[in-house]
Amino acid sequence: MIHVTRYKLQDARRAMSLLLVIFIVGALLTSAALVGDIVIRQARMARGVVDSEAAIYAAESASEKVAYKVLKEHCVVGGGNCGVSGTLDNGASYAAADSSSNITTENATSPWSFSLTAGQSFTLYLDIRGVSYPSGGNLRITCTTSNNLTNADVIREVIATGAQTETLYTDFSLPVDVAIDVDSDPYPLKSYYKITIHNRNTISQDYQLSWTGNLPKSLKIIKASGTSQSYHRIIESLFPRWQIFGGS
């Protein structure tokens, strides 16, 4: 009887040890599976971030390429030649079609008011092709500050076969009308203008532009797209054609 009881105790201990080994091995396998799953998920997420960024960069590239064609090569917006498409070195593709739903201009609303501190200048570039410029051929500039109206320059640069620079007025006691001679001939156009207002006063001055028709102040890329693997990104960009710089 003593031997039988001893054998039963030994068998029970062996069974418990086997169960413990099974539990430990199972826990290790479960932990390994969980860790492996986490590693795989993290790798997929990291790859997704890379592909997503590549798609964003491709969309930005499309926007920049359109801007270069419009603002540097002077293609006609809406004429069908300003769109771009292609593939980057990293394999991501980009595209922006030349249509009113993808590429257009943002017009300023008349009147357009702004202030210049002492020594600051405002410059407007009227060189976006395919848009309607102010009808009547005039852009009216008014100084709405009641004092020191004589210390300001309006400079018009006409880009045609060559650059022509003309200082129109230094007196804002009356509104200044700047002639906009729109020409339908191929580029270079008479309608390619650079108009600058320079405040030579020692105090800030308030100015106002007014016109009839359209005054394009920005090139607007509504839909530039980029694709990398299964990631597709669309961005919208504005490229202003005016700037304020300088100051005391």
Residue range 226-248, pLDDT digits in tens: 999 888 999 999 999 898 888 65
> What does the angle CA 244 – CA 200 – CA 127 come to, to the nearest 5 degrees?
40
Predicted pLDDT of residue 195? 86
Superfamily of domain 109-214: Mitogen Ypm (2.60.120.510)
From the CB of residue 12, how many other CB atoms can be counted at a distance below 10 Å?
10
89 or 39, which is more confident: 89
Residue range 55-85, pLDDT digits in tens: 999 999 999 999 999 888 888 888 888 999 9
Distance (Å, rounded) from C-alpha 188 to C-alpha 25? 80
The tokens describing 132, both together, are 């309607």
Predicted pLDDT of residue 180? 75
Q: Where are the domains of the chain?
A: 1-106+219-239, 109-214
Q: Which of 160, 238, 172, 166 is nearest to 195 (CA)?
A: 166
User: Does pLDDT of 216 surpass 50?
Assistant: yes
Phi, psi of 161, rounded to the nearest 5 degrees: -70, -20
Predicted pLDDT of residue 63? 95
